Amino acid sequence: MEKAVLKTLIYADIFDYPLKAWEIHKWIIGKKCDLLDVEKALFKLTKKKKIILKDDLYALKNRKEVFAKRKNKSKISQQYFKKAKLITNTFKFVPWIKLVGISGGLAMENASGGDDIDLFIITSNDRIWISRSLLILVLTILGQRRKAADNKQEAAGKICLNLILQEDALEQKRKDLYIAHEVLQMVPLWQRGETYTRYLESNSWAFKFLPNWTTGDFTQNDKSLFDKLNPVDVLEKAAKLLQLQFMSKPKGGERIEDNSLYFHPKDKRNQVIETFKQRTK
């Protein structure tokens, strides 16, 4: 039990993120257990001075600085969340958007002042490109689009369409601890139908890594007036061809597939997984 708790704290520490007891229980790695089991392990580890406790937050020893970091990032994240909710409400005019959520560090309220706002989008089948075109148009008009060429100051607080999936491609192909976290920590803002439930069902493999994870009921649905529109296949294909023509060659963790778009120019996945492996040894 103590090893599982330490692994969980080590992973969180990679992101300078101390955890509360109930958060450790929720995100504990590879161990199905009760909160009482976690609390007992935390007591033992604290007594052995392997971890430290402050204001109900636990961190690895010699990592006192992360407590202040979490407090500061929490304030910034709350501001970003309000902005994201306001802006993404304008996306509802796009009839093919099935879900909009927050991903990345902001989903854990761990965003710094120089971070952008990563969005997770699910669209109808064969509508991924036209949907992206319309969202880019909205963000450009609002002056809130995070561009690839933006420096950190220019990108701060801007919206990045980080990941877009079609309904027929909800299952993540890469299956490891990092992706499991990304799947389960995503915070949905609004949806149409039971899209969020289907997303979790399609990625049920993530519970093997994080078996204690649970979420509250999410029922914030939006029914579009345009849901019964006829298919717009020509516009979808035109949007795809136009965007591909102007897009740079994918780099880093970026991937362009038929039914999913991954825009991670600086994908941290491999670095995080390797760091976690080395530190848990």
Looking at every residue in the chain, the average pLDDT score rounds to 89
Cα 121-25-213 angle, rounded to 5 deg: 30
Q: What is the pTM of this model?
A: 0.80
- Give me the pLDDT at residue 128, please: 95
Which residue type does 11 have?
Answer: Y
Q: Answer yes or no: is pLDDT of 139 > 60.
A: yes
Q: Answer yes or no: is pLDDT of 269 > 90.
A: no
Which residue type does 263 have?
Answer: F
- Write the pLDDT tens digit of every residue in 162-214: 899 999 999 999 999 999 999 999 999 999 999 999 999 999 999 999 999 98
Give backbone dihedrals phi and psi of 124, rounded to 5 degrees, phi first.
-65, 160
How much is the average pLDDT of 245-271?
A: 71
Better pLDDT: 113 or 256? 113
Q: Which domains does the chain have, with CATH numbers?
A: 2-63 (1.10.10.10), 75-272 (3.30.460.10)
- Write the pLDDT tens digit of every residue in 60-83: 999 999 999 999 999 999 999 999
- Give me the pLDDT at residue 219, please: 56
Separation of alpha carbons 110 and 96, rounded Å: 30
Separation of alpha carbons 92 and 95, rounded Å: 7
| Helices 128-142 and 233-246, packing angle to 10 deg | 60
Query: Which residue, among 154, 211, 164, 165, has the nearest Cα to 25 in the 3D structure?
Result: 211
Give the 3-state secondary structure of the chain: CHHHHHHHHHHHHCCCCCECHHHHHHHCCCCCCCHHHHHHHHHHHHHCCCEEEECCEEEECCCCHHHHHHHHHHHHHHHHHHHHHHHHHHHHHCCCEEEEEECHHHHHCCCCCCCCEEEEEEECCCCHHHHHHHHHHHHHHHCCECCCCCCHHHHCCCEEEEEEEEHHHCCCCCCCHHHHHHHHHCEEEEECCCHHHHHHHHCCCHHHHCCCCCCCCCCCECCCCCCCCCCCHHHHHHHHHHHHHHCCCCCCCCEEECCEEECCCCCCHHHHHHHHHHHHC
